[in-house]
Amino acid sequence: MADAAAVLNTSPVIPVVTIDDPQDAVPLARALADGGVGIIELTLRTESALTSLKLIANEVPEILVGAGTILTPGQADAAVAAGARFLVSPGVTPALLTSMLSLDVPVLPGVATVGEVMAVLEHGLDSMKFFPAGPAGGPSYLAAIGAPIPQVRFCPTGGISLASAPEYLKLPNVACVGGSWLTPAAAVAAKDWDRITGLARGAAALSR
Protein backbone atom coordinates (compact mmCIF):
# COMPACT_ATOMS: atom_id res chain seq x y z
CA MET A 1 0.00 0.00 0.00
CA ALA A 2 1.36 3.43 -0.91
CA ASP A 3 2.83 5.27 2.08
CA ALA A 4 0.50 8.04 3.23
CA ALA A 5 2.57 8.50 6.39
CA ALA A 6 5.44 9.79 4.26
CA VAL A 7 3.09 12.38 2.77
CA LEU A 8 2.11 13.59 6.24
CA ASN A 9 5.76 13.85 7.25
CA THR A 10 6.74 16.07 4.31
CA SER A 11 5.93 19.38 5.99
CA PRO A 12 4.28 20.68 9.19
CA VAL A 13 1.71 22.31 6.90
CA ILE A 14 0.16 21.02 3.68
CA PRO A 15 -0.96 24.07 1.69
CA VAL A 16 -4.53 23.62 0.45
CA VAL A 17 -4.61 25.59 -2.78
CA THR A 18 -7.28 26.51 -5.33
CA ILE A 19 -5.90 27.89 -8.61
CA ASP A 20 -8.21 29.68 -11.03
CA ASP A 21 -5.63 30.50 -13.72
CA PRO A 22 -3.25 27.69 -14.74
CA GLN A 23 -0.62 30.33 -15.55
CA ASP A 24 -0.29 30.86 -11.80
CA ALA A 25 0.31 27.18 -11.06
CA VAL A 26 4.05 26.91 -11.64
CA PRO A 27 5.15 30.19 -10.02
CA LEU A 28 2.90 29.51 -7.02
CA ALA A 29 4.36 26.03 -6.54
CA ARG A 30 7.89 27.37 -6.88
CA ALA A 31 7.15 30.09 -4.32
CA LEU A 32 6.04 27.45 -1.81
CA ALA A 33 9.11 25.32 -2.53
CA ASP A 34 11.39 28.35 -2.14
CA GLY A 35 9.89 28.87 1.32
CA GLY A 36 10.70 25.32 2.37
CA VAL A 37 7.27 23.75 1.91
CA GLY A 38 7.74 20.77 -0.39
CA ILE A 39 4.13 19.73 -0.80
CA ILE A 40 0.86 21.09 -2.19
CA GLU A 41 -2.72 19.83 -2.12
CA LEU A 42 -4.34 21.28 -5.23
CA THR A 43 -8.12 21.23 -4.91
CA LEU A 44 -10.25 20.11 -7.83
CA ARG A 45 -12.65 23.02 -7.35
CA THR A 46 -12.08 24.72 -10.70
CA GLU A 47 -12.56 23.55 -14.28
CA SER A 48 -8.86 24.05 -14.99
CA ALA A 49 -7.57 22.31 -11.85
CA LEU A 50 -6.28 19.26 -13.69
CA THR A 51 -4.36 21.48 -16.11
CA SER A 52 -2.73 23.27 -13.18
CA LEU A 53 -1.94 19.96 -11.52
CA LYS A 54 -0.26 18.62 -14.65
CA LEU A 55 1.82 21.77 -15.05
CA ILE A 56 3.10 21.55 -11.47
CA ALA A 57 3.83 17.84 -11.77
CA ASN A 58 5.81 18.37 -14.98
CA GLU A 59 7.60 21.64 -14.21
CA VAL A 60 8.12 21.65 -10.44
CA PRO A 61 9.24 18.08 -9.71
CA GLU A 62 10.80 19.11 -6.41
CA ILE A 63 7.34 19.61 -4.88
CA LEU A 64 5.05 16.72 -3.95
CA VAL A 65 1.78 17.61 -5.66
CA GLY A 66 -1.47 15.93 -4.75
CA ALA A 67 -5.13 16.40 -5.62
CA GLY A 68 -7.69 17.42 -3.03
CA THR A 69 -11.48 17.62 -2.95
CA ILE A 70 -11.72 14.17 -4.54
CA LEU A 71 -15.45 13.40 -4.56
CA THR A 72 -15.79 10.66 -7.18
CA PRO A 73 -13.83 7.70 -8.54
CA GLY A 74 -13.63 9.49 -11.88
CA GLN A 75 -11.91 12.47 -10.30
CA ALA A 76 -9.42 10.18 -8.60
CA ASP A 77 -8.55 8.49 -11.89
CA ALA A 78 -8.21 11.81 -13.72
CA ALA A 79 -6.04 13.32 -10.99
CA VAL A 80 -3.58 10.43 -11.02
CA ALA A 81 -3.48 10.55 -14.82
CA ALA A 82 -2.60 14.26 -14.59
CA GLY A 83 0.29 13.56 -12.24
CA ALA A 84 -1.13 13.65 -8.71
CA ARG A 85 1.21 11.85 -6.34
CA PHE A 86 -1.36 11.55 -3.55
CA LEU A 87 -5.14 11.94 -3.18
CA VAL A 88 -7.18 13.70 -0.49
CA SER A 89 -10.95 13.51 -0.03
CA PRO A 90 -13.05 15.74 2.25
CA GLY A 91 -15.10 12.72 3.31
CA VAL A 92 -15.34 9.11 2.30
CA THR A 93 -17.84 6.55 1.03
CA PRO A 94 -17.17 2.83 0.56
CA ALA A 95 -17.17 3.19 -3.24
CA LEU A 96 -14.83 6.18 -3.25
CA LEU A 97 -12.42 4.58 -0.77
CA THR A 98 -12.28 1.35 -2.78
CA SER A 99 -11.61 3.32 -5.95
CA MET A 100 -8.84 5.44 -4.44
CA LEU A 101 -7.17 2.40 -2.90
CA SER A 102 -7.04 0.75 -6.32
CA LEU A 103 -4.66 3.47 -7.51
CA ASP A 104 -0.94 3.31 -6.83
CA VAL A 105 -0.68 6.57 -4.84
CA PRO A 106 -1.03 7.42 -1.15
CA VAL A 107 -4.56 8.23 -0.01
CA LEU A 108 -5.74 10.54 2.79
CA PRO A 109 -9.48 9.93 3.26
CA GLY A 110 -11.44 12.62 5.06
CA VAL A 111 -13.07 11.69 8.37
CA ALA A 112 -15.00 13.63 10.99
CA THR A 113 -16.37 11.01 13.42
CA VAL A 114 -15.03 8.08 15.41
CA GLY A 115 -17.13 5.70 13.31
CA GLU A 116 -15.60 7.04 10.10
CA VAL A 117 -12.10 6.67 11.55
CA MET A 118 -12.85 3.05 12.43
CA ALA A 119 -14.31 2.34 8.98
CA VAL A 120 -11.19 3.66 7.25
CA LEU A 121 -8.95 1.82 9.71
CA GLU A 122 -10.65 -1.43 8.71
CA HIS A 123 -9.16 -0.92 5.22
CA GLY A 124 -5.65 -0.84 6.66
CA LEU A 125 -5.17 2.93 6.57
CA ASP A 126 -3.83 4.73 9.62
CA SER A 127 -3.23 8.17 8.03
CA MET A 128 -6.30 10.37 7.52
CA LYS A 129 -7.52 13.90 6.94
CA PHE A 130 -9.67 15.31 9.76
CA PHE A 131 -12.17 17.68 8.15
CA PRO A 132 -13.61 20.18 8.85
CA ALA A 133 -11.26 20.41 11.81
CA GLY A 134 -12.61 23.51 13.52
CA PRO A 135 -16.35 22.84 13.24
CA ALA A 136 -15.87 19.11 13.92
CA GLY A 137 -14.36 19.67 17.34
CA GLY A 138 -10.82 20.98 16.99
CA PRO A 139 -7.80 19.87 19.03
CA SER A 140 -9.83 18.65 22.02
CA TYR A 141 -11.80 16.28 19.79
CA LEU A 142 -8.64 14.89 18.18
CA ALA A 143 -7.07 14.42 21.60
CA ALA A 144 -10.13 12.44 22.69
CA ILE A 145 -9.91 10.20 19.59
CA GLY A 146 -6.26 9.54 20.37
CA ALA A 147 -7.09 7.79 23.63
CA PRO A 148 -8.96 4.76 22.20
CA ILE A 149 -7.38 4.90 18.70
CA PRO A 150 -3.76 6.00 19.21
CA GLN A 151 -2.44 4.36 16.03
CA VAL A 152 -4.14 6.81 13.65
CA ARG A 153 -2.34 10.00 12.60
CA PHE A 154 -4.24 12.95 11.23
CA CYS A 155 -3.87 16.00 9.03
CA PRO A 156 -6.57 18.31 10.42
CA THR A 157 -7.80 20.81 7.83
CA GLY A 158 -10.49 23.48 7.88
CA GLY A 159 -10.46 26.69 9.86
CA ILE A 160 -6.78 26.43 10.83
CA SER A 161 -4.44 29.42 10.82
CA LEU A 162 -0.78 30.04 11.58
CA ALA A 163 -1.87 31.08 15.08
CA SER A 164 -3.96 27.97 15.78
CA ALA A 165 -1.72 25.41 14.05
CA PRO A 166 0.61 24.85 17.06
CA GLU A 167 -2.32 23.72 19.23
CA TYR A 168 -2.95 20.91 16.73
CA LEU A 169 0.69 20.09 16.04
CA LYS A 170 1.47 19.46 19.70
CA LEU A 171 -0.92 16.49 19.73
CA PRO A 172 0.78 13.08 19.33
CA ASN A 173 -1.80 11.93 16.77
CA VAL A 174 -1.40 14.99 14.52
CA ALA A 175 1.37 14.73 11.93
CA CYS A 176 0.70 18.00 10.12
CA VAL A 177 -2.11 20.45 9.39
CA GLY A 178 -3.72 21.59 6.17
CA GLY A 179 -4.11 25.29 5.57
CA SER A 180 -5.14 27.76 2.93
CA TRP A 181 -3.45 30.75 4.59
CA LEU A 182 -0.17 30.16 2.72
CA THR A 183 -1.67 31.21 -0.60
CA PRO A 184 -4.08 34.12 0.02
CA ALA A 185 -6.32 34.89 -2.93
CA ALA A 186 -5.16 38.51 -2.96
CA ALA A 187 -1.51 37.49 -3.15
CA VAL A 188 -2.17 35.06 -5.98
CA ALA A 189 -4.21 37.65 -7.90
CA ALA A 190 -1.38 40.16 -7.51
CA LYS A 191 1.19 37.49 -8.38
CA ASP A 192 2.98 38.38 -5.16
CA TRP A 193 5.07 35.23 -5.06
CA ASP A 194 7.50 36.72 -2.52
CA ARG A 195 4.66 37.04 -0.02
CA ILE A 196 3.75 33.40 -0.53
CA THR A 197 7.38 32.38 -0.06
CA GLY A 198 7.43 34.33 3.21
CA LEU A 199 4.25 32.64 4.43
CA ALA A 200 5.71 29.26 3.47
CA ARG A 201 8.82 29.98 5.53
CA GLY A 202 6.64 30.69 8.54
CA ALA A 203 4.77 27.42 8.06
CA ALA A 204 7.92 25.37 7.51
CA ALA A 205 9.33 26.71 10.78
CA LEU A 206 6.46 25.35 12.87
CA SER A 207 7.52 22.61 15.29
CA ARG A 208 5.77 19.28 15.67
Domain positions in the chain are 4-200
Angstrom CA distances, 150 to 4, 106, 113, 174, 196, stand at: 17, 21, 15, 10, 35
* Residue 32 confidence (pLDDT) above 60: yes
Q: Mean per-residue pLDDT for 41-54?
A: 97
With 0-12 / 13-18 / 19 or more C-beta atoms within 10 angstroms meaning exposed / middle / buried, residue 95 is exposed
The pLDDT score that the predictor gives to residue 208 is: 85
The percent of residues in the chain predicted with pLDDT above 90, rounded, is 99
The single residue of 62, 129, 170, 191 carrying the catalytic annotation is 129
* Residue 2 confidence (pLDDT) above 80: no
CATH 3.40.50.2300 fits 4-200, yes or no: no
Is position 129 annotated as part of the catalytic site?
A: yes
Q: Mean per-residue pLDDT for 61-90?
A: 98
Is position 41 annotated as part of the catalytic site?
A: yes
Q: Mean per-residue pLDDT for 50-62?
A: 98
* Residue 1 confidence (pLDDT) above 70: no
* Residue 58 confidence (pLDDT) above 80: yes
Looking at the whole model, is its pTM more than 0.75?
yes
Q: What is the pLDDT of residues 145-199, one digit of tens each?
A: 999 999 999 999 999 999 999 999 999 999 999 999 999 999 999 999 999 999 9
The single residue of 41, 54, 116, 122 carrying the catalytic annotation is 41
* Residue 132 confidence (pLDDT) above 60: yes
